[in-house]
DNA sequence: CTGCATGCAAAATGTTTGCACTCTA
DNA sequence: TAGAGTGCAAACATTTTGCATGCAG
């Protein structure tokens, strides 16, 4: 839990079709569940086992390559972050696309708030949800019914 | 999702032992899982079915009486918030106790950040985790191994 | 008496694990 | 050929649902 960005000798996929799993998450820029990724791979003709998808997803998350979090209905979702640095996300409630944002002030505030009350080893979680401009316009495009967490 | 603090004709427990469920969550001031609450009620001699606990917990969450969120390992956790207003939490990673905090500036920042990029219908999630002063001192008290989300 | 709430048990979901098989080095 | 990686299916944990019973109005 306390190890972040640990660059082990085996940084990323390590296996061939593990790469397929990563590719799906990486390219979609959205929250994906294991089942989701598995389905997509199957559809794409890739013969990958569900268990394997789970295994790789966990692995990637452990290595900090992707981000894991829980959806409101209990599924574990994964997303790929463009930057390795600490940052937060602005997520579209409709299409699930997330934009990375930085907020030094808020980081500072969070740290101060906790420290002031005597808390140590402080971390935080910040996510902003909204409807993005693209989804706002009614007839722009077919929007998936993906439910973002939170 | 868009209805907050809706005061329906049946605001809270509605039934007698539903109140028992609420009581547990309310009094513990910590994250509790359904299984958890159920176990506590059983131990306390209360004869309550697991399904009933689940049903009441969901009901209470729907009515905004308690707050629901997902733990890192996929369980749904519930907590009672002292205030009905929008606020955030400073949570102890050790004992799970949460302190309610307000942060007008951050609210503003979140709103602006999203609005500036054309997002509408904006909401956000902010949680700060740390080790509280009490838990920091080694031999102070027996700390449960509860795992806070995030 | 009628109806909702309850409790048990079965069912459904999402995830993990055991084990035999395959592919690569 | 040895070993890691894979896939299937069984095992698991949590949550939901169906249905008969109990209590209140």
Evaluate if the CB of B15 falls below 7 Å from strand C.
yes
pLDDT digit string, tens, across residues B71-117: 988 899 999 988 778 889 999 988 888 899 999 999 999 999 999 99
Nearest nucleotide, CA B71 to C1': D14
Q: Distance, angstroms, CA B43 to C1' D25?
A: 31
Q: What is the structure's pLDDT at B139?
A: 56
Q: What is the structure's pLDDT at B12?
A: 52
pLDDT higher at B31 or A141: B31
Candidate from B118, B124, B131 with C-beta closest to A121: B131
Are A71 and A31 in contact by the 8 Å Cβ rule? The answer is: yes
Evaluate if the CB of B147 falls below 7 Å from strand D.
no
Residue A41 has pLDDT above 90, yes or no: yes
Candidate from A109, A123, A136 with C-beta closest to B103: A109
Nearest nucleotide, CA B54 to C1': D15
Q: How far is A34 from chain B (nearest CA, A)?
A: 14
pLDDT digit string, tens, across residues A49-100: 999 999 999 999 998 899 999 998 889 999 998 887 888 999 998 888 889 9
pLDDT digit string, tens, across residues B127-148: 999 999 999 876 544 444 444 4
Structure tokens at A60: 């990637």
Are A95 and A143 in contact by the 8 Å Cβ rule? The answer is: yes
In the predicted model, what is the mean pLDDT of residues A2-22?
Answer: 59
Put simply, whether B99 touches A (Cβ < 8 Å) is yes
Q: What is the structure's pLDDT at B124?
A: 93
Q: What is the structure's pLDDT at B85?
A: 80
Instruction: State chain A's mean pLDDT as an integer.
Output: 82
């Amino acid at each position: 839990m306390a190890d972040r960005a640990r660059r082990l000798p085996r940084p990323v996929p390590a296996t061939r079709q593990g790469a397929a799993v990563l590719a799906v998450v990486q390219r979609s820029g959205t929250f994906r569940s294991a089942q989701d990724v598995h389905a997509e791979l199957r559809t794409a003709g890739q013969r990958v086992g569900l268990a394997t998808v789970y295994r790789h997803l966990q692995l990637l998350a452990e290595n900090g390559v992707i981000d894991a979090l829980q959806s409101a209905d209990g599924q574990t979702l994964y997303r790929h972050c463009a930057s390795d640095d600490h940052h937060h996300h602005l997520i579209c409630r409709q299409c699930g696309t997330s934009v990375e944002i930085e907020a030094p002030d808020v980081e500072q505030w969070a740290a101060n708030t906790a420290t002031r009350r005597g808390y140590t080893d402080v971390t935080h979680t910040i996510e902003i949800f909204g409807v993005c401009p693209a989804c706002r316009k009614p007839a722009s495009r077919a929007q998936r019914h993906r439910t973002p967490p939170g």
